[in-house]
Amino acid sequence: MKFLGNKATVMPLAVVTAMLAFGVPQADAQGLFERLFGGGIRHTPQGDFPPPPSRQPRYKPNANAPAVSRSGGGGAQISSPSYRTYKSDPLVRVDFSTLAATPEPAMPQDAAFQPSSATDVAFREAIAGLGDYELYAEKDIAKALIAYYSANPDFIWVTENGANSRAQDAVRVLGETASYGLTPNDYTVEVPAAGASTSNTDTRLKELARFEMALSARVLRYVHDAQSGRVDPNRITGYYDFPAKPLDMEGVLKTLARTQQARTYLESRHPQNVEYQALRVELESLQASAEDEVVVDPKLLLKPGQTSPELPKLLAKIARDLDDEMGGAYGEILARLATSEVYDPELVPVIRAVQKKAGMKGDGVIGPRTVAALVGTSKVDKIRKVKVALEELRWLPSDLGSPRVFINQPAFTASYIENGEEKLKTRAVIGKITNQTSFFYDQVEQVDFHPYWGVPQSILVNEMLPRLRRDPGYLDRAGYEVVNARGKRIPSSSVNWGAYGAKIPYGVRQLPSEANALGELKILFPNKHAIYMHDTPQKSFFERDMRALSHGCVRLQDPRGMAAAVLGTSVDYVAEKLKHGHSTEKVARTIPVYVAYFTAWPDMSGNVEYFHDVYDRDTRLQQALDSTEAVRSPAS
């Protein structure tokens, strides 16, 4: 493949041959493999879909978390991304001295700004009293305040002797932040009393000037938080990969200075998708509801014949939620054994039935996942999960796009959604705890039929290399090809694998076959994490409830259905393509794909479902939010 700009074209065989013959400067075998066989090439989606993250992170790598570690056997290993203790940037004091010292312009710097001479004079008199005002704000907000008011020497929020209607609307919006899962104290502004005495003009001007600056600072914080979230996710862990959302803060103030629809504008800064609205409705409902009186130990583990005082509470919850069908089949058993602390064999069919109804395997063992599915999540945990989900949604585009592919890792599902309809939903397998799937978004690019599997360097180093040191010819016998940095195939047995550690100057790929790790097809959205959707020969994994079992890629129970969906064709077409061996087909439409992580997420009807935090990421995000709140709390 050759990539020109944002588009991929087929590279002529002669060019490939020339590349292999004369070498590829500054490219190792793995990099060459990625270009030839669909690994990690970035692209910029067209249209309104925001570009995926840049290869350059918004954070500095943690010097204490090296990518290469030493194994117990003395060999190097490639480590997974680490989690970091989040430290919010400190607030800075706004330096109003530069604003007060700004000479009066002969003409307004902003051509659209036309203050009257009276308001200009009043404003300059007012800011003269800001020298001892201690207003703390984020660094970029502090900079924007000075830049805006230097170019636009007039009030936004003050008219004559008090706060105007625009200010009143803005203050009301800032006071409603809890409904968005935000912290109201982060946006608090003290409003000057209306109708105050004007006997001391200088004091009143100083009061109004401080209100003006404080409200502008908190409005800018609100707009930033609504659009992008309160934390930078990329600073939490390398598993998060999101592009920055540029925000013209001076432009925000200019817009607010010219509109009487402050509420409409501020509320429009939040994500404008139905999922965000559904989560807000859920949050409001939770905050108004009473706690569920049935609380079962979430760590309960009970097998038939065992005893627990938690069992009657679980049975009471099941009995209360029985529908007519389940009641007719199991109502008598539940009534007779309602107070039993012994998990009687008669209860096993009941537990299996409710497990299957909840989408579980139905093995009859009562464990944490069964308790969570049958009893549900506590009110406190639900509120926390919804607030976390609202924050995470702010990291994504406001319009999620249609059509789109949405993978929710905690739910172990992948969906194809078009025109508000979930046209395909399939079970998915995600990365193990030690090989976690990242949280990012990109764009579907192509489907590979009977694909080659380019073995990632991490698997080659961490899992294959120890065996290759003992058995150099292993790859030759197991259906793999080895190429050197010039693209030349060489026998695995000819390589001195013991000479290499974390940097192996060879590429390895598995040939298409029934045993291929990718199964019969893969769906590519090239990204730096080398994550994609694919088939798998390990079909039994989809029968498990906990499906964090892969090396990081997303395995699909219905890969043919997903391939047909993204290609805009039929499953029969996909089956026909598979009859003809290895081939690749480009996706002609713009289809964003979200490799997402939400422990609270609404279904297509708006009903919010809750999932286990398989990677414990909610806890880490909460630590980052707490850090941000701690930095903001002493601010004036």
Tokens of 323: 């529908």
> Where does residue 165 rank: exposed (0-12), middle (13-18), buried (19+ CB within 10 A)?
exposed
How far is Cα 432 from Cα 239, in angstroms, rounded to an integer?
13
How far apart CA 173 and CA 164 sit, in angstroms, is 15
Strand, helix or coil at 71? coil
Residue 220: closest CA among 159, 269, 276: 269
Identity of the residue numbered 372: A
- Shortest CA distance to 215 belongs to which of 135, 139, 154? 135
Strands 583-586 and 446-449: antiparallel
Task: Give the pairing of strands 404-408 and 533-534.
Answer: unpaired
Q: Are strands 421-431 and 548-550 parallel, antiparallel or unpaired?
A: parallel
| Residue 213 CB-density burial (10 A; 0-12 exposed, 13-18 middle, 19+ buried) | buried
Q: Which long-range contacts (CB under 8 A, 24 or more apart) does 109-114 make?
A: 109/150, 109/151, 109/152, 110/151, 110/152, 110/254, 112/254, 112/258, 113/151, 113/152, 113/154, 113/257
Which is nearest to 15 in space by CA: 33, 36, 43?
Answer: 36
Q: What is the DSSP letter of 398?
A: S
Closest to 523 (Cα-Cα) out of 573, 616, 613, 585: 585
Q: Per the structure block, which two tokens stand in for 411? A: 């739910």
Structure tokens at 613: 């935090």
For the chain, give the longest Cα–Cα distance. 95
Which amino acid, 393?
L
* Known catalytic residue at 553: yes
> Measuring CA to CA, how many Å separate 211 from each of 32, 83, 93, 198?
60, 40, 16, 16
CA dist 404 to 110, 531, 547, 566, 636, Å? 41, 17, 23, 9, 43
DSSP state of 234: G
Q: Measuring CA to CA, how many Å separate 573 from each of 220, 403, 536?
A: 52, 20, 20
> Catalytic one among 529, 534, 551, 612?
534
One DSSP character per residue, 540-583 reads GGGGSS--EEESSSEEES-HHHHHHHHHTS-HHHHHHHHTT-SE
Cβ atoms within 10 Å of 551's Cβ, excluding its own: 19
Amino acid residing at 630 = A
Contact partners, residue 168, CB within 8 Å, separation at least 6: none
Catalytic residue among 43, 450, 551, 553: 553
Active site residues: 534, 553
